[in-house]
Structure 1
């Protein structure tokens, strides 16, 4: 199902990777409505619970609604089970909503983070609601332009400095080629101690 006329889309580039001692997620910040850029500074990295985030692509309204619903469910889960939910639990709840509403939603989600049980995890949930655990997950329209780069350059043994450089370079490459990707580069480094957010302003993003 395509986007309805006038619907705001996060045609975008999102990615998340496991590295030596952390998870790093990243996204551009452009949202569009057809050929019109509706927002240049959207935050597509959404906190879900504890040290778990999701990266959103597709219809902005769909992904924002699903993220809010899952966040509520995870809060209820934590209270009823008296334990922190894992990244796997969060990904499975996202999957349920995406799969059960696959004919009505345009939403691709990457769920990534750290938990006490499994450590670092990344799950890719493309449009349709399938679920795939991966070391490196890519999504959005811009991802089509960087698969070769990521396959060649990514290593889970990178330290956080090299991992952050890799994520930012991949986003710059996607933003250089994909008209739906652009604006700022937003990243988050997630480990057992918490989350470190960082932004590169659009004026400082040197595309290729």
Structure 2
């Protein structure tokens, strides 16, 4: 896998574009500048890797738009050492960004083909999250509680299970809506039985699969 001056130049331009759209966390921008996104694409699609858009990765799934990856990550407010649950491993790009920020990442994927592919691929890049195959719509209670939970697929409603798996002070970032458009929610668990809520509009994700997702 080659990361040429051309690739680095395209990546630098992409990061400038993301920053211009409002991403302020320099750690996230540096992580995206470091991580070769084209490694997550077939060679013939390399030019698409540095466009700010989602792209199909097979199995009816996509690698998220870079701005969306940065936006969700920024909402998590990650500190080094935070224990983060990612629901929807997909290509592994989002998990890699979380690892670059110093998080302890637990990532669960519903689709067996994607799970197997990414579990083999990411260590080749030096990224080693904890991989799980299963129904992420119910979270991963055996590893709870978490400092943050990020959901990278659109949910039909806010899953109570995920809120329960947060530490006090923990944050859940999840898109909720229909199959075409979602609102991004940032829930912060401010006390054992109390959450604060912020919403951000106009996102589009593939559907969250599983018992608490889309059947």
- TM-score normalised by length of structure 2: 0.30
Which protein is richer in helix relative to its size? 2
Whose RCO is larger (CA < 8 A, sep 6+)? 1
Which protein is richer in strand relative to its size? 1
